[in-house]
Structure 1
Amino acid sequence: MTITKCIDLNSDLGESFGQWQMGNDEAMLKVVSSANIACGFHAGSPAGILKTLKAAKANHVEIGAHVGYPDLVGFGRRNMDIAADELTADVIYQIGALKGLAASIGAKVSYVKPHGALYNTIAHDKRQAMAVIDALCSVDSTLILVALAGSKLIEWAKENGLRVVAEAFADRAYHADGTLVSRKEAGAVLHDPEFVADRMLQLVNEGGVTAIEGQFVRIDAGSICVHGDSAGALAMAQKVREKLQQNGINIAPFAKANNR
């Protein structure tokens, strides 16, 4: 019996704020299977978030809460040393906001993906990681947590009963130890759509990619992030989806797949 390979494609959306527009949510929602929608702390206005939620529902795309630090000015990309109880409350607040907006149109929030500096910090910082885990367990333990592939966060979340999906990044280079190459280093961000699509095909078929040092590095991921806010992002996402589908790989949301 032939087993069809399957992968989720996700993107960060709903990040426009009033007259300030970021990305092309309408077009990206025709490419991805899961949408990480901003919750107002790092980006997104209520009206803009609701518009993106409606578009996600219309395109049958799974909805996730893209929670972050309270940092509109820094777009959530600045590290913050927040007390654990405050961070837990912040995450609960953001999930609640998105759940309320989603409920108003008959949609459902099925997962949580932390954003920016919060995402990177909780991959290794157990204190802040537990604050986020506590938030999910308190507000809705059925929510799936999206975490960096190979990070300690995956183990900590599973130990607390959460379902976790590991994530890989389409447009980022990896070191031989499985960590992401810092954006401060040359070659950290990949820009060639064909090259990126070939790497993601390698990821799905071989379980890893070629590291910046030249060695093959294993990356166990159930979802691929295709960023939607950079130049050429849409074309890259479209090429990744096209390449995977041409090679018999199904694009489907992890929220509807079996536990990983």
Structure 2
Amino acid sequence: MTLDLNSDLGEAFAAWPMGDDEAMLQVVTSANVACGFHAGDAVTARRTVRLAARHGVAVGAHVGYRDLAGFGRRFLDVDAGTLADETLYQIGALRALAAAEGVRVTYVKPHGALYNRIVHDEVQAAAVIDGILAAGDDLAMMGLPGSRVLQLAADRGLRVLREAFADRAYRADGTLVPRSEPGAVLHDAEAIAARVVGLATTGTMTAITGESIAIDADSVCVHGDTPGAVAIARAVRTALERAGVSIAPPGAA
């Protein structure tokens, strides 16, 4: 089989660094580039896109709530019209920067609290899809398998990319354990690599409560801001390739 490896990148802001994007871009096959609302800025985004192009990495717009102070991890009650326009705004900004580097933005992945909100919230999920479609129907939508937003995206003609998480714990219902709870973020590179190989070969992962849960994934995320992120990503890629799994951007294989 073939899997995409993605990471949230371009999240540095002005003088505040975040992660090692250049090293990560030598491992992953898709880069979710921050669009300036939860993190990132114009200079960082353009540099990240340039590096992604150098390494043959696909580029996606990593859109979020307007929440730099909270890194986009706080749930905000944004009305649907505003959320649609702000989604469109973020995609448009990244597309302009990418075009200046001769790069095409191919998909959209929401960030943090917005990502988790639209797993179930019909109104905000529809607003995000409205924003994406306003930017163009050539963009794919990346999200959690079985989420409301992926269902709406497919219903409205968008290509969907189902995402699993290498370094996050799952609940028994297939949703992510909130970062505020113990054990939500995983750090052992070898254990993370083994669970991703298990996902690739069996289509399952083990929930934090011990249940085996089915996860149908096109792409696997290693968060760029997790401590040891590059080592984790390398371990995951090496383990997958040893297991006979091809690593490539969505649609490339």
In which range does the TM-score fall when normalised by the shorter chain?
over 0.9
Q: How high is the TM-score relative to the length of structure 2? A: 0.97
Which of 57, 61, 86 matches 2:57?
61
Alignment partner of 1:49 is 2:45: yes
- Structure 2 counterparts to residues 99-138 of structure 1, below 5 A: 99-138=95-134
Structure 2 CA distance for aligned equivalents of residues 229 and 255 of structure 1: 26
Structure 1 CA distance for aligned equivalents of residues 142 and 225 of structure 2: 19
Alignment partner of 1:15 is 2:11: yes
Bigger mean CA offset, 212-221 vs 9-18: 212-221
Q: Quick one: structure 1 residues 110 and 255, their matched pair in 2 at CA, closer, same or farther if it must change by over 3 Å?
A: farther
CA contact (8 A) 2:129 2:149 kept: no
Structure 1 CA distance for aligned equivalents of residues 26 and 32 of structure 2: 14
RMSD: 1.1
Q: Please list the CA deviations of residues 98-144 of structure 1 after superposition, one character each: whole Å capped at 9, or x if unmatched.
A: 00001111111000000111111111101011011011112111100
Aligned residues: 253
Alignment partner of 1:36 is 2:36: no
Match of 2:162 in 1: 166
Alignment partner of 1:218 is 2:229: no
Q: Quick one: structure 1 residues 23 and 196, their matched pair in 2 at CA, closer, same or farther if it must change by over 3 Å?
A: same
> SS of 2:60's equivalent?
strand
The alpha-carbon deviation at position 181 of structure 1 amounts to: 2.0
Alignment partner of 1:237 is 2:233: yes
Match of 2:174 in 1: 178
Kindly, what percent of the aligned residue pairs are identical? 55
Q: Please list the CA deviations of residues 213-234 of structure 1 after superposition, one character each: whole Å capped at 9, or x if unmatched.
A: 2221100111100011121111
Alignment partner of 1:227 is 2:223: yes
Bigger mean CA offset, 145-154 vs 173-182: 173-182
Q: How high is the TM-score relative to the length of structure 1? A: 0.95
CA contact (8 A) 2:125 2:148 kept: no
Alignment partner of 1:6 is 2:14: no
CA contact (8 A) 1:150 1:220 kept: no
Which of 19, 22, 27 matches 2:23?
27
The alpha-carbon deviation at position 167 of structure 1 amounts to: 0.6
Structure 2 CA distance for aligned equivalents of residues 78 and 176 of structure 1: 23
Match of 1:73 in 2: 69
Unaligned runs of 5+ in 2: none
Structure 2 CA distance for aligned equivalents of residues 78 and 214 of structure 1: 28
The alpha-carbon deviation at position 175 of structure 1 amounts to: 2.2
